[in-house]
């Protein structure tokens, strides 16, 4: 093939390289493109990787025939192979499809053009040359220092340590692959059994390929970094989930005992209590129950994180008793904390029943109302919490509205993330583990529920949850 800057040629090379995602496939495609008689058609290709940690050039691969006769045979074989897939190439336009086609074809031919070993010289992959030991005129040294492709006639002084991989008297082109992390390697090509016909055109086209290959390698390295980061994060997440599961189970056993003994003492089964003791013990018992629910939340999260499921016993439920109970508990908390909060539970007695796990519904409302109470402003303005209900089509919508601190758009996007805290400082004003809304999302998911959030910073928030309405005739 005569080298050309035709659009078709560029598209084929670009399509072969751009979709590569691994280093092995990158070297396979790059080397094969250079040796392929239907593409760049070089008779010899050498690639020396650069190891920055040891400041050494290391033999990566060498392709090409070892004789003129073998070179002719290889070219004929490649030409026959491409003739059989010409129609597939012309009908494949997506990079992914081209990459798959090129990779499969080149993988079949790759071993036939590798010439890694010469008698008495060992294998090319064992070649390792310290960069600092090379003279300034050495081909690896001059190519590494130059952004432009080098055109050279090989002489003994510039190929020290590289014979017989590179032989004296043969003209070559050499270019460097450079990414954001620096020098990655040196590519050297030659027409060992024929002359360069137009050295200027060859140099320009090879320079274009080197630039494209450098960009491709840069992308591959970025993919590798992202993959490694994702793997590390997944492992960290797995360890965190395992830790959560262990800690939660270890906390649950003593909490069960604590609650049991507190119940005995509070009910005066262990002896009479005066009014002050009864009041203090009631507060302790309430906080112990609150801690127990947090442990249960951790267990729910841990179960999902380790591949388990949350059980939901979905039945027709009348929501008024559940709402009344949750609101009463919250009012009791505000009294204990000395906080003035105005509740407006706009509940209608004849609201339709909904399909939900009653325990899950109670927990969802507890979390949402707890947040509505917790994130109040500290400027002395009266804090209002309003519950709103609306039956629309086949779903019942429950809104929890407050005039608290509100959220920024960025905070609103992250509030359902596990352990996310709007105020993450150690001395933050608002307590909690940052798992309440994560649990709400999990419980809604297993109860066919939905949630939307509206909020403005320093103006308040509206959380709207919805559940399917129960119809007796269905």
pLDDT, tens digit, for every residue of 332-365? 777 766 666 666 666 666 789 999 999 889 989 9
Per-residue pLDDT for 317 more than 80?
A: yes
Residue-wise pLDDT for 167-221, tens only, equals 888 889 999 999 999 999 999 998 877 777 788 888 999 999 999 999 999 999 9
Identify whether residues 254 and 196 lie together within a single domain: no
Identify whether residues 216 and 262 lie together within a single domain: no
Do the strands 383-392 and 341-345 form a parallel or antiparallel pair, or are they unpaired?
parallel
What is the rounded average pLDDT for all residues in the chain?
A: 80
Domain boundary among 165, 193, 227: 227
Measured in Å, how far apart are the chain's first and last C-alpha atoms?
73
Do the strands 182-190 and 171-179 form a parallel or antiparallel pair, or are they unpaired?
antiparallel
Identify whether residues 457 and 397 lie together within a single domain: yes
CA distance 183 to 148: 14
Q: Which of 143-147, 234-238, 294-298 is the most confident on average?
A: 143-147
Identify whether residues 142 and 60 lie together within a single domain: yes
Domain boundary among 197, 227, 257: 227
Weakest-pLDDT range from 71-85, 103-117, 388-402: 103-117
Per-residue pLDDT for 3 more than 80?
A: no
Identify whether residues 268 and 322 lie together within a single domain: no
What pLDDT shows up at residue 108? 67
> Does residue 258 form part of some domain?
yes
Identify whether residues 72 and 215 lie together within a single domain: yes
DSSP conformational letter for 131? G
Structure tokens at 67: 């004789």
> Does residue 202 form part of some domain?
yes
- Total count of domains within the chain: 3
Domain harbouring 366, CATH code: 3.30.565.10
> Does residue 473 form part of some domain?
no
> Does residue 133 form part of some domain?
yes
DSSP conformational letter for 97? H
> Does residue 434 form part of some domain?
yes
Range of the domain at 245: 237-305
CB burial string 281-305: b at 16+ within 10 A, e below: beeebeebeeebbbbbbbbbbbbbb
Domain harbouring 14, CATH code: 3.30.450.40
CB neighbours (10 Å) of residue 209? 22
The mean pLDDT value for 445-459 works out to 91
Identify whether residues 186 and 253 lie together within a single domain: no
Identify whether residues 60 and 209 lie together within a single domain: yes
Report the share of the chain in percent with pLDDT over 90: 25
Identify whether residues 241 and 190 lie together within a single domain: no
> Does residue 289 form part of some domain?
yes
pLDDT category of residue 453 using cuts at 50, 70 and 90:
very high
Per-residue pLDDT for 371 more than 70?
A: yes
Identify whether residues 95 and 116 lie together within a single domain: yes
> Does residue 166 form part of some domain?
yes
Identify whether residues 277 and 357 lie together within a single domain: no
Per-residue pLDDT for 464 more than 90?
A: yes
Residue-wise pLDDT for 21-45, tens only, equals 888 888 888 888 888 877 888 888 8
Q: Which residue has the higher pLDDT, 99 or 80?
A: 80
> Does residue 90 form part of some domain?
yes
Domain boundary among 184, 205, 227: 227
Whether the model pTM is above 0.75: no
Rg of the chain's alpha carbons, rounded to an integer? 36
Identify whether residues 144 and 244 lie together within a single domain: no
Per-residue pLDDT for 432 more than 60?
A: no
């Amino acid at each position: 093939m005569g080298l050309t800057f035709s659009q078709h040629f560029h598209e084929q090379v670009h399509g072969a390289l751009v979709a590569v995602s691994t280093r092995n496939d990158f070297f396979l495609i790059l080397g094969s493109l250079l040796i392929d008689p239907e593409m760049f058609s070089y008779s010899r290709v050498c690639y020396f990787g650069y190891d920055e940690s040891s400041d050494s050039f290391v033999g990566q691969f060498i392709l090409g025939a070892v004789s003129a006769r073998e070179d002719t045979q290889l070219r004929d074989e490649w030409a026959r192979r491409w003739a059989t897939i010409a129609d597939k190439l012309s009908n494949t336009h997506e990079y992914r499809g081209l990459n798959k086609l090129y990779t499969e074809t080149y993988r079949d031919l790759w071993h036939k053009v590798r010439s890694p070993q010469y008698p008495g010289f060992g294998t090319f992959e064992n070649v390792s040359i310290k960069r600092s030991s090379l003279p300034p005129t050495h081909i690896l040294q001059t190519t590494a220092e130059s952004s432009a492709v080098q055109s050279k006639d090989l002489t003994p002084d510039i190929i020290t340590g590289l014979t017989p991989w590179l032989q004296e008297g043969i003209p070559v082109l050499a270019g460097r692959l450079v990414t954001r992390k620096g020098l990655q390697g040196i590519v050297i090509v030659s027409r060992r059994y024929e002359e360069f016909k137009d050295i200027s055109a060859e140099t320009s086209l090879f320079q274009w390929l080197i630039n494209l290959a450098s960009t491709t390698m840069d992308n591959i390295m970025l993919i590798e970094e992202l993959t490694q980061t994702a793997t590390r994060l997944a492992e960290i997440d797995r360890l965190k989930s395992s830790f959560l599961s262990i800690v939660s189970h270890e906390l649950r056993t003593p909490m069960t005992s604590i609650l049991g003994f507190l119940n005995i003492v509070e009910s005066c089964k262990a002896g009479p209590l005066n009014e002050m003791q009864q009041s203090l013990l009631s507060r302790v018992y309430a906080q112990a129950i609150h801690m127990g629910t947090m442990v249960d939340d951790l267990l729910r999260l841990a179960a999902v994180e380790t591949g388990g499921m949350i059980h939901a016993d979905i039945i027709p439920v009348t929501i008024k008793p559940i709402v009344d109970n949750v609101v009463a508990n919250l009012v009791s908390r505000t009294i204990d904390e000395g906080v003035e909060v105005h509740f407006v539970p706009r509940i209608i007695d004849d609201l339709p029943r909904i399909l939900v796990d009653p325990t899950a519904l109670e927990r969802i409302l507890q979390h949402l109302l707890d947040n509505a109470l917790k994130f109040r402003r500290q400027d002395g303005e009266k804090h209002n919490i309003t519950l709103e209900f609306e039956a629309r089509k086949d779903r019942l919508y429950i809104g929890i509205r407050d005039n608290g601190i509100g959220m920024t758009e960025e905070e609103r996007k992250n509030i359902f993330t596990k352990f996310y805290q709007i105020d993450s400082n150690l001395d933050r004003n608002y307590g909690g583990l940052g798992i309440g809304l994560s649990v709400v999302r999990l419980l809604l998911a297993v109860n066919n529920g939905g949630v939307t959030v509206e909020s403005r910073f320093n103006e308040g928030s509206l959380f709207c949850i919805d559940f399917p309405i129960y119809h007796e005739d269905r």
